[in-house]
A and B are shown apart, each in its own frame.
Chain A
């Protein structure tokens, strides 16, 4: 390694962006379209859904029939390379706590696998009614114009409902429910739970004034990424169009090491390791924008130490890494005897939710603050790995065609017929709720451990509290009630021993909050435009700036905030402030 050196160029870009997901992609899109010369570093390979998608493959085209692998945790056909454990890129834990860190290293980042559920945060998510957590320095009204623009730019289906804390958007027609979902809707209504059309970023109709993206053709495989760009991925909708402007350059397989600053503490560029040749490079930008994901951006800041920024850049407050929070999640399921021997038709639908329950209890006094939403599913889905597994838990519970009860399990012609009878009867429901941002749930640099690139790794400390556990219990109780009301045979509810099915932190992959924004530089890292208090040409555009997440999935808010930050950058450039 005697020839190891840092390769530098003299080119100075108007902006260097780290990351190509929702945040980095949107910033790149806005800035490149405004004529700025932008360089984007992506830690994984280039990915174009048009070329690289597994859409419409049949299960037998995978020797494991679509089961997950260590490089594609969500299945062999899933678009997202990555997972909770990456070879040579460890992370550690503290105090016996648990956090699972999902990383998708590829163009588009985690917008490749997400559920396309696109919810706006509401007025009370930005400013709480209970005062338990810090308010955002901005309100829903500040962000609304950007949500509107994101809706028009990217496309989203849904229905206008006028609900208090579930702001409506500008919607395409929603896909109607599948048969199972009609039963869910009916049962939930009886249980007093609101159910409305889903809200997803899928083009159920052609997007006006967009010739590059096709309309959805209902294969239900958004997670594989869409060859006609019928859904939202950062690659297809933002990065690739931005490249076409001629103003955005993407360097793939570039793993960022640190933000470089000058003696005044201003950012001058980013150093990275190129995974293809394992050489060290440095690129220059007048502005540096981090969209590497909440935890990865925090890691970059903390690893960017200099005499001007001894605790890491943008961290004079010491808050970088703190207030990490992921959504809560708990699930259940069951099946509908009414659907046995159901008629066959194509019920693939869309690859996002057809219906969901926004939080329906408002500010009601419960044994946990705030709330959760419920995502539902069920239908005549394509068989894949695990198809009708555990049928011995079903086929002994109802009478056979001859009206007689059967013994559970079995084999032979009778069992074969049961698979046909029971196909498509399943239902599933998953709660996704607000977890409180807490100072003592955090990530920090592990002083002892580096990854295979020699970059110090993150160490996590994260514990659920009674609020989150009580919320999961409420979810389980609600699921049972809905399934009872719809006449379903429900799976046994999760109990105390599993924290009521509450998934470990990080499992829901909505982690946010590690580089929070705020008006007070002593208590926050970024101002209300996601600009570092300590370094005015450094911005963060992923979910790290979130002060407190609502129960809503983060992507739509990341997009709106990143667009807002990019427009702020353009305005400040005009005033020659950055």
Chain B
């Protein structure tokens, strides 16, 4: 079976196939990830085992964080990845919802995150007589600055540094694994194409003479 027939066989239409064949001589392949609908969990998915579908349904319904914690997380993730001229913020990409799911799926995160949030609130209560969420935006940034730079954080800030490192990582995953994140990053894969090696202009830019170096 040739490539065109095999793609038709799995339901990737002729338009995509045409794009694929054109892609071998162009590098700016059109990407259509934004058009892809999110998974509909009500329809049986043959790539999932029944127990997996049930587990995800159950986990999705669980709530670990209370409203205050979720609101605090939302402020924090938007400080980590704010809206800019290229793309939206972490909360636009539903990062808080992702974090809520992950702590239910990977309970090892629960204590570090809950404890870290409370640690942060206590710091802010002492400093500003308010929880982190109720502190002013300027105070919030001041607090975050004290825990966001591991190499220059003061020793008594280290619990906050660990918490913030974890939250930063979860925010990056939560943001860049979405259609918004793909577009922001310029990820253009996960689509049928032809790989014939690094494009000529990139080879040249990096000083390689051919696709095999």
B165 at the interface (CB under 8 A from A): yes
Say whether B82 contacts A228, CB under 8 Å: no
* Range of interface residues on A (Cβ < 8 Å): 35 or more
A61 at the interface (CB under 8 A from B): yes
B173 to chain A: which residues have CB within 8 Å?
65, 383-387, 389
B152 at the interface (CB under 8 A from A): yes
Tell me, rounded to whole Å, the shortest Cβ–Cβ distance linking B169 to chain A: 4
Say whether B169 contacts A206, CB under 8 Å: no
A211 at the interface (CB under 8 A from B): yes
User: What CA separation (Å) do A218 and B192 show in the bound complex?
Assistant: 6
A67 at the interface (CB under 8 A from B): yes
Tell me, rounded to whole Å, the shortest Cβ–Cβ distance linking A48 to chain B: 9
Contact residues of A between 212 and 249, Cβ < 8 Å to B: 212-220, 227-228, 230
B177 at the interface (CB under 8 A from A): yes
Query: How many B residues face the partner with a CB closer than 8 A?
Result: 80
Q: Mark B168-179, 1 if CB is under 8 A from A, else 0.
A: 110011101111
Measured CB to CB, the nearest residue on chain A to B105 is A64
A88 at the interface (CB under 8 A from B): no
Contact residues of A between 36 and 79, Cβ < 8 Å to B: 45, 50-67, 69, 71-72, 77
The answer, among B6, B52, B150, B174, for a CB contact under 8 Å with A392, is: B150
The answer, among B51, B164, B201, for a CB contact under 8 Å with A71, is: B51
A149 at the interface (CB under 8 A from B): no
Q: Mark B156-193, 1 if CB is under 8 A from A, else 0.
A: 00000000110011001110111101101111111111
Give the contact stretch, choosing among B65-73, B111-119, B121-129, B205-213: B205-213
Contact residues of B between 111 and 156, Cβ < 8 Å to A: 144, 148-152
B22 at the interface (CB under 8 A from A): no
Say whether B202 contacts A343, CB under 8 Å: yes
Assuming the A-B contacts A345-B27, A387-B177, A391-B172, are A182 and B198 also in contact, with contact meaning beta carbons closer than 8 angstroms in the complex?
yes
A50 to chain B: which residues have CB within 8 Å?
10
User: What CA separation (Å) do A338 and B208 show in the bound complex?
Assistant: 13
User: What CA separation (Å) do A61 and B98 show in the bound complex?
Assistant: 12
Among B5, B51, B196, B212, the most chain A Cβ lie within 10 Å of the Cβ of B212
Say whether B190 contacts A56, CB under 8 Å: yes
The answer, among B47, B81, B179, for a CB contact under 8 Å with A53, is: B47
Tell me, rounded to whole Å, the shortest Cβ–Cβ distance linking B143 to chain A: 11
Contact residues of A between 276 and 314, Cβ < 8 Å to B: none
Say whether A219 contacts B189, CB under 8 Å: yes
Say whether B198 contacts A179, CB under 8 Å: yes
The answer, among B7, B187, B197, for a CB contact under 8 Å with A176, is: B197
Give the contact stretch, choosing among A21-29, A361-369, A410-418, A538-546: A410-418
Among B1, B165, B196, the most chain A Cβ lie within 10 Å of the Cβ of B1
The answer, among B38, B165, B176, B212, for a CB contact under 8 Å with A387, is: B176
The answer, among A59, A71, A220, for a CB contact under 8 Å with B177, is: A59
B49 to chain A: which residues have CB within 8 Å?
45, 71, 81
A148 to chain B: which residues have CB within 8 Å?
none
A416 to chain B: which residues have CB within 8 Å?
81-82, 84
B55 to chain A: which residues have CB within 8 Å?
69
Tell me, rounded to whole Å, the shortest Cβ–Cβ distance linking B200 to chain A: 11
Say whether A52 contacts B47, CB under 8 Å: yes
Assuming the A-B contacts A175-B195, A349-B195, are A182 and B206 also in contact, with contact meaning beta carbons closer than 8 angstroms in the complex?
yes
Measured CB to CB, the nearest residue on chain A to B153 is A409
Say whether B191 contacts A415, CB under 8 Å: no
Say whether B213 contacts A186, CB under 8 Å: yes
B179 to chain A: which residues have CB within 8 Å?
58, 60
Tell me, rounded to whole Å, the shortest Cβ–Cβ distance linking B28 to chain A: 8
B201 to chain A: which residues have CB within 8 Å?
343
Measured CB to CB, the nearest residue on chain A to B205 is A343
Say whether B208 contacts A182, CB under 8 Å: yes
A213 to chain B: which residues have CB within 8 Å?
1, 6
Say whether A348 contacts B172, CB under 8 Å: no
Contact residues of B between 21 and 52, Cβ < 8 Å to A: 23, 27-29, 33, 36, 38-39, 46-47, 49, 51-52
The answer, among B80, B144, B189, for a CB contact under 8 Å with A220, is: B189
Say whether A177 contacts B190, CB under 8 Å: no
Q: Besides A65-B173, A182-B203, A380-B189, 20 other CB < 8 A contacts?
A: A55-B10, A57-B39, A60-B178, A64-B106, A67-B102, A177-B213, A178-B198, A214-B3, A214-B9, A343-B202, A344-B187, A345-B27, A345-B199, A383-B177, A383-B185, A384-B173, A385-B177, A389-B169, A390-B165, A407-B151
16 A-B residue pairs with Cβ-Cβ distance under 8 Å, sorted by A, are: A60-B38, A71-B49, A71-B52, A72-B52, A77-B47, A176-B195, A176-B211, A215-B3, A219-B190, A230-B6, A346-B191, A380-B189, A407-B149, A410-B148, A415-B80, A415-B81
Interface residues of B, Cβ cutoff 8 Å to A:
1-3, 5-7, 9-10, 20, 23, 27-29, 33, 36, 38-39, 46-47, 49, 51-52, 55-56, 59-60, 79-82, 84, 98, 101-102, 105-106, 144, 148-152, 164-165, 168-169, 172-174, 176-179, 181-182, 184-199, 201-203, 205-206, 208, 211-213
8 closest cross-chain pairs (CB), A and B = A214-B6, A176-B197, A59-B177, A228-B6, A344-B186, A217-B192, A176-B211, A348-B189
